[in-house]
Structure 1
Amino acid sequence: MKQIDISGLLDEHRESWNLSKSLTGPVFARRLVDAKILREHVFPFPQRKEKRFAKVKIPMLEVLQSVRNNAYFTHAFAMQAHHISQPGLCDIYLNFEQPAHERGGLPEQKSIDLAFRSKPRCTTNFIQFDNYKIVMLNGMSTGLLGVETLGVRTVHSEPATVRVTDLERTLIDIVVRPHYAGGVENVLRGFILARDRIDIEKMAGYLTALDYVYPYHQAVGWYLSQAGFSDGQLASFRVRPRDRNFYLAHQMTAPVLDEHWKIYVPRNFGAERGLYLEP
């Protein structure tokens, strides 16, 4: 969405529109809103309040995306954009990337165990908007890996053209932060619904490029196997090291270890039990 510079617009057209020299940008903006030429959008995020003026026909999602340069939609909202979740209202996740910084190596098992016994990190930088939340995420630097421009139709706004993570990047993101997708049940459902559209090699390449400290390839491999991919199809995941036991989510109660993928999963959870096979 092209942003409107109210003050610049006023300066450019003050004489040709015969506007008073005393007219200020805020007053001019209010007149345009009152005349229904522009719509005012206010997003009072705790970290920084954002205000935008846009033409009336510009969808809210396109306006929202403009609050940060190169921001893009992720997680539960991206699932909806790719039709791998139940339709309806969901929280909107908007991500903008932090500068790159050096990361460490694979943690020891004790450190992994301790981290996943604790609650997952959740941002507090969100606002309540009608019956859902708009959540602003400060994601790690990826160089906009797997971000595409997509036309979306949701119940949140008019049809819009926005930046959103592609299918494979979305699936990786919800594995890494299942609490931003409604939980592991929704993640599994998403993999199953995406089964015939997943590009395994693209996903493997994304994981290599993202270079996570934690062995998220084990969790992704588990979900792919639950979605019906064979060991042969998952060769690019099976050859990766599994030197640590890992976890599908934080704070699971009495999880069981899948010996093949070396990952703890909730007890009695998985597609083989007939769970989550329907959209």
Structure 2
Amino acid sequence: MNRTRIQIAKADIVKHFDHLPEHVLKLKEIRAILASQRDFWRLAQSTTAEHFIAFLKEHAKLKEIDFPFPQRAERCYVWGEVPLLSILLSLKKNLYLSHYTAMRLHGLTEQSPTTIYITDERGISGSGQHERAQLGQAEIDLAFSRPPRVSHNWVEHAGKKIYLLNGAHTGHLGVATEPVTDEGGQEVLARLTNLERTLIDITVRPVYAGGVFEVAKAFELAKDRVSINRLVAMLRKLDFAYPYHQAIGYYLERAGYKPSQIDLIRRLPIEHNFYLMHEMDETRYVSNWRLAVPDGF
């Protein structure tokens, strides 16, 4: 039986893909490979990218994976075995792991979350300074009497609920690339928020971190590793409209941080009453941070 040209070239094609620096590819990258190698592999002009992909899916180790996110579906092609975190970070440029996922990778939770959070930062937009100038007690009270905004941009994949969050522009402040160990025990080179940025993000969005009890636990577990100087510098740069530093100060105090560390937060202005989380029923008031927290917390 006569073998087709693509069958004859299979060993060379497999070798080429094996030696690629990245094993998660988009359609345009596979098209580029086919275009650049077609003559060397002696493939017929009638071999389209679709034919090429179909052949590699059936006869080699290419897998097509769809992530039908409501805001924009993503598709990628994976060569061989690649950890899920690496696949997710390859879906778009400059994505990073955040919130509960960053907590787990930094050892800031004793749980095993079944949700993965990835952030896609928005580009530069207008300054939020005007909003900050107009933010009074009535606006804060109203905002935190309502449920928190929660993204609906998620999919289920491999037993995980994967959120692709649309993050505010921060210039990727506190985002680092470092080796981490995924749930399967594999080492993955991942982009994720560093310790200080993670603690800030989960204070701002406890709903993406397993709730305020998990956030409090994260502050306890970070105690010997976190730099409060770095955290405060980051807070100043992020320049939130809401006084999240009051919540951070409370978490530090609750976790038994040194007075000298807590004092770094106290230097930031405390001008309004604030809330640890949205839509609390029974609360108690922590006067030194001007903060309402859940009763019994």
> Whose helix fraction is larger, Structure 1's or Structure 2's?
2
Cα deviation, residue 34, structure 1: 2.0
Write out per-residue CA displacement over residues 45-79 of structure 1, whole angstroms, 9 at most, x where no aligned residue: 11111111132133221121122211100000000
Counterpart residue number, 1:85: 109
Cross-structure match for 2:70: 46
**Residue 102 (structure 1) aligned to one of 112, 127, 130:** 127
SS at match of 2:260: coil
TM-score by length of 1: 0.92
8 Å contact kept, 2:100–2:113: no
**Matching residue's letter, 1:102:** S
Is 2:64–2:77's contact at 8 Å kept on the other side of the alignment? Answer: yes
Deviation at 1:235, TM superposition (A): 1.8
Instruction: Determine what percentage of the aligned residue pairs are the same residue.
Output: 39
Q: Equivalent residue for 2:32?
A: 8
User: Is 1:68 matched up with 2:96?
Assistant: no
1:55 aligns with 2:79: yes
Report if aligned partners of 1:88, 1:154 keep a CA contact under 8 Å in 2: no
Q: Which stretch has the larger CA shift, 81-90 or 65-74? A: 81-90
User: For the residues of structure 2 that align with 1:28 and 1:61, how far apart are their CA atoms?
Assistant: 26
Give the one of 262, 275, 280 matched to 1:252: 280
| Larger Rg computed on CA atoms | 2
Matched residue, 2:145: 117
Give yes or no for the alignment of 1:188 onto 2:216: yes
Report the Cα offset of residue 39 of structure 1.
2.5
- Which whole-Å CA distance do the structure 1 matches of 2:182 and 2:82 have between them? 15
The one-letter amino acid paired with 2:213 is: E
**Residue 158 and residue 35 in structure 1: after superposition, are their counterparts in 2 closer, same or farther (change >3 A)?**
farther
**Which residue of structure 1 aligns with residue 168 of structure 2?**
140
Q: 1:131 aligns with which of 137, 143, 159?
A: 159
* Deviation of the 1:194 alpha carbon: 1.0
Mapped contact 1:59–1:157 kept (Cα < 8 A): no
- Measured in 1, the distance between the counterparts of 2:184 and 2:100 equals 13
Matches of 1:219 and 1:94 in 2, distance apart?
24
Report the RMSD for the aligned CA atoms in angstroms: 1.6
Q: Any runs of at least 4 consecutive aligned residues in structure 1 with deviations exceeding 3 A, and if so which? A: 1-4, 156-159
Gaps of 5+ in 1: 270-279
Q: Paired residue for 1:228?
A: 256
Cα 1:208–1:217 shift into 2, 3 Å = same
What does residue 45 of structure 2 align with? 21
